[in-house]
């Protein structure tokens, strides 16, 4: 299949390994990762084994991926992305939460980037989306993912990727919002779960770390 070939080529180019022993989730799974490059969801997608990859859909920014027909085709038909507008005005009418839940109900796992934008060197504060999603569907499995070096392979604003080696770490699932846990606490907890996977590369300094 073409998808398997593309996944193989992405792994070859970025040096990221296939996570062959990844377990299938009991219900549906949300992969949430740090965001530093447009390559991010491509690499997560490529590192999953076929049985998981086939029903994993990235949640991506509509503004970027709908810019020209080529990108639209890649996002919509190749990766089967759920495209969500980032512009707050468009967001209200697009019902991002509803669309994500609909995708989950259709049997897909989702890849989300709770920072909402690409950051460099640290993990910015998480936007509320993950909290709302996990509150509405407490049966979801939330898996933190750490991506390293991808922002050096394809930084913000660059077109040509460098053939450097990236690294991906999948963590153990974190619990959904607990009884009495507020939104900020949940978001901070999940953010620290991603940081913990970086084994010291990212520091858990002030959550107000600015993005580049």
Partner 1 sequence: MMKDPELLFLLGGVVAVLLIASAVTRLLIHRKGVNPTLENLRQRVNAWWWMMLVFGASLALGRSGVFGFYALLSFLALREFLTLSPTPPGDHRTLAWVFFLILPVHYFFAWVPWYGMFLIWIPVYAFIFIPVRSALAGDTDRFLERTSRIQWGVLTCVYFLSYLPMLLELPIPGYAGQNAKLVFFVVLVTQISDVMQYVFGKLFGRHLLAPKVSPSKTREGLLYGGAAATLIGGSLWWATPFSFPAALAMSALLVLAGFLGGLVMSAVKRSLGAKDWGRGIPGHGGVLDRLDSILFAAPIFFHVTAYYFTTNMAVERPQPEWIRQLLTPWGG
Site for partner 1 in 5-44 (CB under 8 A): 15, 17
Binding residue (CB under 8 A) for partner 1 from 73, 95, 165, 210: 165
- CB 160 to partner 1: min, Å: 5
Contact call for residue 210 and partner 1 (CB under 8 A): no
Q: Are 47 and 168 in contact (CB under 8 A)?
A: yes
Q: Are 147 and 16 in contact (CB under 8 A)?
A: no
Contact call for residue 169 and partner 1 (CB under 8 A): no
In degrees and rounded to multiples of 5, residue 164 shows phi and psi of -85, 175
Nearer to partner 1, 42 or 153 (CB): 153
Binding residue (CB under 8 A) for partner 1 from 20, 70, 160, 208: 160
Q: Are 17 and 11 in contact (CB under 8 A)?
A: yes
Site for partner 1 in 99-158 (CB under 8 A): 120, 149, 151-152, 155-156, 158
- CB 15 to partner 1: min, Å: 7
- CB 168 to partner 1: min, Å: 13
DSSP 38: T
Q: Where are the beta strands (DSSP E) in 36-183?
A: 56-61, 82-84, 109-112, 141-148, 167-170
Q: Where are the beta strands (DSSP E) in the chain?
A: 29-33, 56-61, 82-84, 109-112, 141-148, 167-170
3-class SS of residue 21 = coil
Binding residue (CB under 8 A) for partner 1 from 164, 175, 182, 203: 164
- CB 147 to partner 1: min, Å: 14
Q: Which residues bind partner 1 (CB under 8 A)?
A: 15, 17, 120, 149, 151-152, 155-156, 158, 160, 162-165
């Amino acid at each position: 299949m073409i998808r398997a070939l593309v996944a193989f080529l992405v792994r070859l180019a970025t040096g990221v390994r296939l996570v062959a022993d990844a377990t299938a989730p009991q219900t549906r799974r949300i992969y949430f990762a740090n965001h530093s490059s447009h390559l991010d969801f491509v690499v997560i997608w490529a590192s999953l084994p076929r049985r998981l990859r086939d029903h994993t859909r990235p949640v991506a920014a509509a503004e970027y991926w709908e810019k020209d027909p080529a990108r639209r085709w890649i996002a919509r038909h190749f990766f089967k992305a759920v495209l969500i507008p980032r512009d707050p005005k468009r967001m209200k009418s697009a019902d991002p939460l509803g669309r994500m839940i609909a995708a989950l109900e259709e049997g897909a796992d989702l890849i989300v980037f709770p920072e909402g934008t690409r950051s460099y060197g640290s993990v910015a504060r998480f936007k509320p989306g993950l909290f709302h999603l996990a509150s509405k569907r407490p049966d979801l499995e939330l898996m933190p993912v750490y991506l390293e070096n991808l922002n050096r392979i394809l930084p913000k604003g660059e077109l040509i990727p460098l053939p450097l080696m990236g690294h991906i770490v999948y963590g153990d699932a974190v619990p959904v919002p607990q009884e009495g846990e507020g939104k900020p606490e949940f978001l901070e907890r999940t953010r620290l779960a991603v940081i913990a996977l970086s084994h010291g590369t990212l520091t858990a300094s002030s959550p107000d770390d600015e993005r580049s």
